[in-house]
Amino acid sequence: MLKEFKEFIQRGSVIDLAIGVILGSTFGKIISSLVNDIIMPPIGLLIGKVDFSNLFVTLSGDSYKTLQDAQNAGAVTLNYGVFLNQVMEFIIIALVLFIVIKQINRLNQSKTEPIKATTKNCPYCYTEIPLQATRCPHCTSKLS
């Protein structure tokens, strides 16, 4: 059983999956920072100096200055600003993945295109000559 487990773990797909999960979680942190620290502050400024992470509604009707104050007081809140940040994060991740996959597909497509021949072999002396040649430069045979 230990041998089978070792073979399972050493499969390329399992290792690739593990690497993908690790890179994905790290990438997620980078995107979270991009959304929360770089993209959302200017959007909030354009809308009227709104900090999206502090947009919330207390379900009890009490009023608090910040989300942290409401949470410290134990109030039940509906955090729609945090939700907006998460939606923006999802859209950015989806866009980045779309661009990355599109580029990978473009690279893979260029690898599978057949290479066009630019030379041919002379049928008489078997020397490599250009496709357009009508006479072999080596044996001077006339080519059809």
Please report which helix (H) or strand (E) contains residue 100, including its range: helix 80-112
pTM for this predicted structure: 0.52
Do 124 and 137 touch, CB atoms closer than 8 A?
Answer: no
* From 21-25, 83-87, 106-110, 126-130, the region with the lowest mean pLDDT: 106-110
Token pair recorded at residue 112: 């599978």
DSSP 25: H
Domains in the chain: ranges and CATH:
2-113 (1.10.1200.120), 115-144 (no CATH)
Q: Residue 121 in contact with residue 129, Cβ under 8 Å?
A: yes
For residue range 11-21, list pLDDT tens digits in order. 767 777 888 88
Q: Is 66 helix (H, G, I), strand (E, B) or coil?
A: coil
